[in-house]
Structure 1
C-alpha cells in the first residue's frame, strides 16, 4: 500500500510549518525524512497519523484520501510511533503490546489465539520477551521504545510512521530496529537525525528545510557535500561504506560561521544537479 502527501501545507497560529509538501512513499519502501530541527518533519508525520489536519493539500493511503476514512479504519491502516508516545499508567509490557490490537477489536472482545501469537512474535522480534511481565514505568528509555515499536507492529498496519525511533536505543538495537523496518514488508515513513543510519536503512530520502522539500531521491543522490553544507551548515566528506557501498558522512567539527542551518541559500540549492526541478518531479 503506497502513501502520498499531495501538496500538504500546515499553518498554525499564522506560522507555516509545512509548505506544499509532495512526497510519494512506494509500496514496501522505507522513506526517510531528514532536515534540521524545526524543518517540519514531525509536523508532516502528524498529518499522516491524523494528529493534525493539513491546512491545504491531502494525504492518500492507496486510493483513499485519509480524511475520508473513519478514525477506526485509518487506525487499522496507519500505525505511528511518535516522540510523545508513552504511558503514565504502569501497564505491563505484555499489556502495552496488546494495545496494538485495539483498532481491530470491538468493545471488550478478548484477543484471539492468533492475536496473542502476534504479540509474542513482536516481543521476540524486538528482544523484549524477557520484559513481558515488567511494568513499563520500570523500564529504561530504550526498552520502552522497543515496547512501543512492538505495539505498532502488532497493529498490522499497511503504513508505519515513526518519529526518531532510534532515540534512547544503543547502537545494537538501532541497527536491529532499522534492519527490521527494512525487511518488514510495510510502507514506512521515518524521521531520522542520524544521516548515516538514514543512508543505510532508507530506499529514498526527503530533505526538508523551513517546511519545504529541498530534494528527494536515493541516498547517494541526496547526500552530497553541497547539500549537507547548505541545509545543515556543516562540512562533510562522503565516503562509501566498505561493505555495503552506502554513503557515509564524515563531519568536520568547525561549522561555517556565516551560514544558518536550515536556511539553504537558494542559489546553491538550485545549482545542485540532485535538486533541480526535473529531479524533484521524478523522485518526489
Structure 2
C-alpha cells in the first residue's frame, strides 16, 4: 500500500472537486471515475491523494501507523492549522490516545444496552408513523420520519434536556463541512459556528445530563478512572456530533430506496425479517457520509 504513495510512483491526476455540489448530490459518477483511474489518484485542486477502491481504502483504515488520524481526518492538517474546535478523541486520534474513549463507548453502546432501549424507540417510531398516516396520502418523509425520529430518541438516550434539540442538525452540518475546503458550504454557516459550538459544549457537562443516559455513563467512567474528567465532555460531544446526522441520512437512504424501488418495499412487507438486511443495503447504496 505504501509503495503506491512512494515518490517513485506517479499516480494519475484528476482536477475533480469531490466537494462540489454536483458530486455531493450524486457522488456515484465521480467514485466510478476515481476507481477506474487507479488505486491512488492525485486530486490536483487540493494537492491530496484519493483512494476509491475497496482494497486500498480498507488497507489505509487498518494501518493507523502509516495513515494517521491524529492530525485530522479532513483536508486540514492540525500540525500546521489550528482546528476549529478541540479535536475529537474518537475521530481525530490514534492509539494509544484513542483507546480509552473507544473502550468506554464500546461498553456503553454494547448490544445489551441498546436492546434495553428498543421498546421505547419502537413506541416512538409507531407514534410517528401514526401521525404521518393521519395527515393524508402525501408527506415529507425526510421531515416527518427521517429527521423527526432521531431528534426524539437519540438526545433522550444521551440524556440531553428537552430544549433546542434542533441545534444538533446545524451543528452536525458545520462539523461535517469542516472536513472539506473553506467553500460556500462552510461560509454559509460561519456566522453560527460560535453559537452552535457553545450550545453543544454546554450540553456535555455533567450537571446538564440526565442521570441515566449515555452521557452520565461516560462521566461515571471518568469517575472510575477509565477516562480523565477532561476527556469526558469531548466523548459526549462525539456522540452528539456523529449520532444524529448519520442516522437521519441513513433513514433517508432507506426511504429513498423503497420509494424508487417499490417492488423491494413489497418484498419487505411480505418478509419483514429482511428489515436489517434491507437497511444495511440502503446505507451501502446511499452512504450517509460523503
Question: Please, what TM-score do these two structures have when normalized by structure 2?
Answer: 0.24
Q: Bigger radius of gyration, 1 or 2? A: 2
Of Structure 1 and Structure 2, the greater strand share is in 1
**More relative contact order in 1 or in 2 (CA 8 Å, sep 6+)?**
1
Of Structure 1 and Structure 2, the greater helix share is in 2
